[in-house]
Amino acid sequence: MNTLEQIAANRSFGGWHKRFRHRSAVLGCDMVFAVYLPPQAEDGPVPVLYWLSGLTCTDENFMQKAGAQRVAAELGIAIVAPDTSPRGADVPGDPDGGWDFGHGAGFYVNANQAPWDRHYRMYDYVVDELPALVEARFPVTTRRAISGHSMGGHGALICALKNPGRYASVSAFAPITHPADCPWGEKAFSRYLGDDRETWKAWDACELIAATPPDGERLPLMVDQGDADSFLATQLRPEQLRTACTLAGQPLTLRLQPGYDHSYYFIASFIDDHLRHHAAALRR
């Protein structure tokens, strides 16, 4: 299960961007992930930012379009980008042929409904299996940060909120803030998790923030959102995150960026700020 097959390698800003394939015991299929190792990794272990991508994406979207390697090399941060779902002939996709469920749309939850429960356990993969593999096989430390976009922004928020002490920092671009109350989330959660909406709360950032005990960890949340995002009003709804954070005393920096949409042009415009946000926490 720990065998890695390197499928690509590219020199980048003095470091290396590499892609690997491995067999995931958690997901029951082969998975591909990418890692960017900055030049500092040649001299010793470096901290890691885990990046979770959005609907329809693979590891390649972020690594090729975000332009993160230059500042990651400057700051000495590795970046690990997993795929967004299990894949393969034996992994069921959307029975209706949609793009917002199944392949490319794992939603970073642990499914408990058949047939999805056999493979769709992206939460366990991202939080446990992949970091254990990365930390065993690459020159990285156990200092971790997490970020993501859209569905991956939702994933980053819940991974941090559900695991106090595991991550030094968290941020998100245009996250699905309240998936239990939006069309994308309702479709995915009803299939992966069943019809009992009470069980959905364990996978919803707004609900997790509301349930944080008074003495619980409150990592400052950094969120960027374009105000020209076509999904803003129906799917993302950052005002719900702001309300939840205000009521719970959760620190939140929510930046509404004028004229920006949901694309990687938006992510590339502000990724440097997020990398510096994580670097400051990872150094502490």
Residue 221: alpha-carbon gap to chain centroid: 14
- Say which of 224, 229, 277, 278 is annotated catalytic: 229
Per-residue pLDDT, averaged over 55-79, amounts to: 98
Q: Domain tally for the chain?
A: 1
Q: Are 205 and 175 in contact (CB under 8 A)?
A: yes
**pTM of the model as a whole:** 0.97
Tokens of 91: 């992994």
Q: How many helices and strands (H and E) does the chain possess?
A: 10, 9
pLDDT tens-digit map of 189-205? 999 999 999 999 999 99
Phi, psi of 112 (to 5 degrees): -125, 10
What is the average pLDDT score of the chain?
97
Active-site residue, from 147, 150, 169, 171:
150
Place of tokens 């097959």: 5
Could you give the 3-state DSSP secondary structure of residue 90?
coil
2 has pLDDT over 80? no
Closest to 68 (Cα-Cα) out of 279, 230, 277, 275: 275
Is 229 known to be catalytic? yes
| Domain of residue 107, residue span | 4-283
Whether 273 is a known active-site residue: answer no
Q: What pLDDT does 3 receive?
A: 87
Answer yes or no: is pLDDT of 1 > 80: no
The pair of structure tokens assigned to 206 is 């707004």
Please report, for the domain that includes residue 194, its CATH number.
3.40.50.1820
Distance (Å, rounded) from C-alpha 192 to C-alpha 106? 9
Contacts of 196 (CB under 8 A, 6+ apart): none
**Which of 262, 274, 277, 278 is flagged as catalytic?**
262
What pLDDT is recorded for position 284?
87
- pLDDT at residue 104 is higher than 90: yes
With a cut of 80, say whether residue 174 has pLDDT above it.
yes
